[in-house]
Chains A and B, each alone.
Chain A
Amino acid sequence: MTDIIAPPLSRRSLLHVTGLSALFIALRPMALLAQDASPQRIVAVGGAVTETLYALGAEGRIVGIDTTSLYPPSALKDKPNVGYMRQLSAEGVLSLSPDSVLVSAGSGPPAALKLLEEAGVRLVTIPDTPTAAGIIEKIHAIGRATGSEAAAARLASDVETRFAAVAKARETVTKPVKALFVLAMQNGRPLIAGTGTAADGMIALAGATNVGAGFSGYKAMTDEAIITAAPDVVVMMAREGLHADPDTVFANAALSATPAGAARRLVTADGHWLLGFGPRTPEAVAYLMQAFYPDLPAVKALSASEHLPAAAGR
């Protein structure tokens, strides 16, 4: 829920009525206590934030995570879960006694974040842009917020190098394949990724064309529009309960009538790995490129360690 901001006067008069003004004055100095550059009790909100913190070796300092923190899988097992990133409970987060809360941009609600700041917790918003530059920016911001600038610089330059490698391979693509990202099959109706989605960003990074263009977000596309779009390859997430195998997917009349259906070209990968826009994203891009362009020498040359068949399963 969101908050209503009243004019300052009414707020002040309310505080007098409830006798709380003394408390507010008493709490002011507390906000200064938590300015430590190297926080020891961190609550991480946002999948990429948690993943990056683990990659920076800050795992031991994390005292809580949110429901979107799916990687590494041990995070949700080992750490208390404070709920969905846009529906945080101020008291729930405070109960973990954090000194810093790192929230991915878009977390909320604002009232809960404001209460955390009032309680003297250092609140850092980590930018979240689904591009290669966005990931680098994210890593540096998390490094600054946790006092691990050196480790962050190493991780960022490593990610940059790997992005540069896939970018170089991308330049050799002369005829981009047409890709269609299927988020889910609702009653046999595919839910397709349009513009502005993480899947759209990944398809672009992998040097392909997203034929789910013309609408934003994830939408159900009609059968005829799918046939007209004529994708060469279908991309899906592999996850439990979702039958992402060619037999099931191309049983769909529309998908089977596309070039992808004729060649039975289906690429599957772990959803968080594919769409998380964290430190592992260059690997996911390389994986997509090798699936899209198996015959391009530059793509084949992408280092083998970047191809993670294990991650494709789960």
Chain B
Amino acid sequence: MGASPARAATAGVGVTLAAALQRRRRRTAFVFGLLMLIVAATSVLSLGLGAVPIPPGRTLAALWTSVTGLPVDADAARDSLVILNIRLPRTLLGLIVGATLAVSGALMQGLFRNPLADPGLVGVSSGAALAAATVIVLGERLLPYLPFAVLPFAALPIAAFFGGLLFTSVLYGLSSGSGRTSIATLLLAGVALGAMAGAITGLLTFMSNDQQLRDLTFWSLGSLGGATWTKVATILPAFIPMAIALSFLGRSLNALSLGEAEAFHLGLPVERIKRIVIVVVALAVGAAVAAAGVIGFVGIVVPHLLRLAIGANHKVLLPASALLGAALLLGSDILARLIVAPAELPIGILTAAIGAPFFLWLLLARRRMVT
């Protein structure tokens, strides 16, 4: 009972802080619960909706027979094929690609300490786009000269993946010296390399014929339409490093947000963190672009939405981005295949249609905050 007034005041502050922290924690838990619910709901919708009308009971039956292997009649067999070989791999691809793009965006924004950074900044997208354009326009002429046999339709994703990695390596080499990576150089060299890739892609566009031009256009708008089990299985390994890195990068990025020098003095292996972030983003985004083409705005929009909702703590921001990114992309994909059924809209149109207005709002809001 002998507490001095000063100590009581400190305790009071402590109580308010603790209460605030608890509120934030409760809010975060609520947002996470909500996000998981949304992901589950969009996944169910993604399995249940499509051009072929399949009643929910049939959908469940199809999933059940895939486990039990019971014999199925012809109609049910078609539904099973649609659900298990078209919608299921497509849903998985959407979840993976959406999560990848959003997490990569959050990682890039954390690493560059710049709210406008997106996964393309490390050169993956421009490298992949250049490689894809090369295959689309020159593929038929180049394939016979390759020392190894490449199936014509496997050439594009493979080229896009390695094109993205190659570009990131060059960019990383340009901006690194004597054991340090200069983030500013990385950013500017990325702009220069992107412009160069754009020039060559433009030249290829000029050389293309009508069909190739349409292929280029569709590729640059992205689609989950080509999802197959083979594709999902082939690209899966590229996402594992990012999934592992998620568990420890949150703390590091929080420290990095104080500044590179400050993070270094906190005992953070800053250079190693940079390398890890660049490598995991390049691998995962390269695979995502290879599998689904260029899908814009998920990487920028999702982390920003979540910062508004749950704050900038990367430990929660990164997993939350994965959930919201997956949900946003799946939602867009459901619309993409329903709006003009039996045809399909490129998914990039929908993510950009949702993303661009938000991005504008964000820019305006930031300007109002400054003035």
- The answer, among B80, B215, B235, for a CB contact under 8 Å with A23, is B80
Do A23 and B84 touch (CB < 8 A)? yes
Residue A94 interfacial (CB < 8 Å): yes
Residue B234 interfacial (CB < 8 Å): yes
Distance from A49 Cβ to chain B, minimum over Cβ atoms (Å)? 16
- The answer, among B81, B218, B219, B231, for a CB contact under 8 Å with A3, is B231
- The answer, among A20, A64, A94, A218, for a CB contact under 8 Å with B210, is A218
Residue B342 interfacial (CB < 8 Å): yes
Do B233 and A19 touch (CB < 8 A)? no
Distance from B233 Cβ to chain A, minimum over Cβ atoms (Å)? 4
Do A196 and B209 touch (CB < 8 A)? yes
Residue A5 interfacial (CB < 8 Å): yes
Do A4 and B158 touch (CB < 8 A)? yes
B:343-360 near A, CB below 8 Å: 343-344
Do B84 and A5 touch (CB < 8 A)? no
In the complex, the chain B residue whose C-beta lies closest to that of A219 is B206
User: A5-B154, A111-B231 are known contacts. Are A106 and B211 too (CB-CB below 8 A)?
Assistant: yes
User: A82-B343, A91-B51, A109-B225 are known contacts. Are A217 and B230 too (CB-CB below 8 A)?
Assistant: no
Residue A205 interfacial (CB < 8 Å): no
Do A91 and B50 touch (CB < 8 A)? yes
Do A4 and B154 touch (CB < 8 A)? yes
Which residues of chain B come closer than 8 Å to A27, judged between CB atoms?
77, 80-81
Residue B292 interfacial (CB < 8 Å): yes
Do A92 and B234 touch (CB < 8 A)? no
Which residues of chain A come closer than 8 Å to B292, judged between CB atoms?
1
Residue B182 interfacial (CB < 8 Å): no
Do B344 and A89 touch (CB < 8 A)? yes
Most chain B beta-carbon contacts within 10 A, residue among A21, A30, A89, A219: A89
Residue A83 interfacial (CB < 8 Å): yes
Do A86 and B233 touch (CB < 8 A)? no
Which residues of chain A come closer than 8 Å to B227, judged between CB atoms?
1, 111
User: A87-B218, A91-B52, A115-B85 are known contacts. Are A11 and B229 too (CB-CB below 8 A)?
Assistant: yes
User: A87-B218, A120-B78 are known contacts. Are A92 and B84 too (CB-CB below 8 A)?
Assistant: no
Distance from B47 Cβ to chain A, minimum over Cβ atoms (Å)? 12
Residue A37 interfacial (CB < 8 Å): no
Residue A100 interfacial (CB < 8 Å): no
Which residues of chain A come closer than 8 Å to B80, judged between CB atoms?
23, 26-27
User: A1-B292, A3-B228, A6-B234 are known contacts. Are A86 and B51 too (CB-CB below 8 A)?
Assistant: no
Residue A130 interfacial (CB < 8 Å): no
Distance from B87 Cβ to chain A, minimum over Cβ atoms (Å)? 7
Residue A216 interfacial (CB < 8 Å): yes
- The answer, among A19, A89, A197, A219, for a CB contact under 8 Å with B342, is A89
- The answer, among B78, B155, B233, for a CB contact under 8 Å with A14, is B233
Which residues of chain B come closer than 8 Å to A108, judged between CB atoms?
153
Distance from A161 Cβ to chain B, minimum over Cβ atoms (Å)? 31
Do A89 and B225 touch (CB < 8 A)? yes
Do A19 and B66 touch (CB < 8 A)? yes
Which residues of chain B come closer than 8 Å to A74, judged between CB atoms?
none
In the complex, the chain B residue whose C-beta lies closest to that of A114 is B228
Most chain B beta-carbon contacts within 10 A, residue among A26, A80, A218, A219: A26
Which residues of chain A come closer than 8 Å to B231, judged between CB atoms?
3-4, 111
- The answer, among B51, B71, B78, B155, for a CB contact under 8 Å with A119, is B78
In the complex, the chain B residue whose C-beta lies closest to that of A215 is B207
- The answer, among A30, A83, A110, for a CB contact under 8 Å with B344, is A83
In the complex, the chain A residue whose C-beta lies closest to that of B212 is A217
Do B208 and A217 touch (CB < 8 A)? yes
In the bound complex, how far is the Cα of B82 from the Cα of A87, in angstroms?
18
User: A2-B153, A27-B81, A91-B52 are known contacts. Are A111 and B226 too (CB-CB below 8 A)?
Assistant: yes
In the bound complex, how far is the Cα of B64 from the Cα of A23, in angstroms?
11
Residue B340 interfacial (CB < 8 Å): yes
Do A95 and B50 touch (CB < 8 A)? yes
Do A94 and B209 touch (CB < 8 A)? no
Which residues of chain B come closer than 8 Å to A19, judged between CB atoms?
66-67, 69
User: A81-B342, A218-B210 are known contacts. Are A94 and B52 too (CB-CB below 8 A)?
Assistant: yes
In the bound complex, how far is the Cα of B230 from the Cα of A19, in angstroms?
14
A:99-157 near B, CB below 8 Å: 106, 108-112, 114-115, 118-120
Residue B309 interfacial (CB < 8 Å): no
Distance from A16 Cβ to chain B, minimum over Cβ atoms (Å)? 12
- The answer, among A20, A23, A109, A216, for a CB contact under 8 Å with B226, is A109
Distance from A64 Cβ to chain B, minimum over Cβ atoms (Å)? 7
Do B214 and A92 touch (CB < 8 A)? no
User: A19-B67, A89-B337 are known contacts. Are A83 and B230 too (CB-CB below 8 A)?
Assistant: no
Do B157 and A18 touch (CB < 8 A)? no
Distance from B36 Cβ to chain A, minimum over Cβ atoms (Å)? 23
- The answer, among B208, B219, B228, for a CB contact under 8 Å with A115, is B228
In the bound complex, how far is the Cα of B228 from the Cα of A27, in angstroms?
16
User: A3-B231, A95-B50 are known contacts. Are A33 and B342 too (CB-CB below 8 A)?
Assistant: no
In the bound complex, how far is the Cα of B82 from the Cα of A10, in angstroms?
22
Residue A15 interfacial (CB < 8 Å): yes
In the bound complex, how far is the Cα of B344 from the Cα of A81, in angstroms?
10
Residue B151 interfacial (CB < 8 Å): yes
Interface positions of A (Cβ within 8 A of B): 1-6, 10-11, 14-15, 18-23, 26-27, 30, 33, 64, 67, 80-84, 86-87, 89-96, 106, 108-112, 114-115, 118-120, 196-197, 216-219
Can you spell out 20 A-B residue pairs with CB atoms less than 8 angstroms apart?
Answer: A1-B225, A1-B293, A4-B157, A4-B234, A4-B235, A4-B290, A4-B291, A6-B230, A10-B233, A11-B229, A26-B71, A26-B72, A84-B214, A84-B218, A84-B343, A86-B211, A91-B86, A94-B51, A115-B86, A115-B228
Question: A2-B226, A95-B341, A119-B82 provided; 12 other pairs, C-beta below 8 A?
Answer: A4-B158, A4-B290, A20-B85, A22-B65, A30-B74, A87-B225, A89-B343, A91-B87, A92-B341, A95-B50, A197-B209, A218-B209
Q: Which 7 A-B pairs have the closest CB atoms?
A: A83-B343, A22-B69, A1-B226, A92-B342, A95-B51, A2-B153, A217-B209
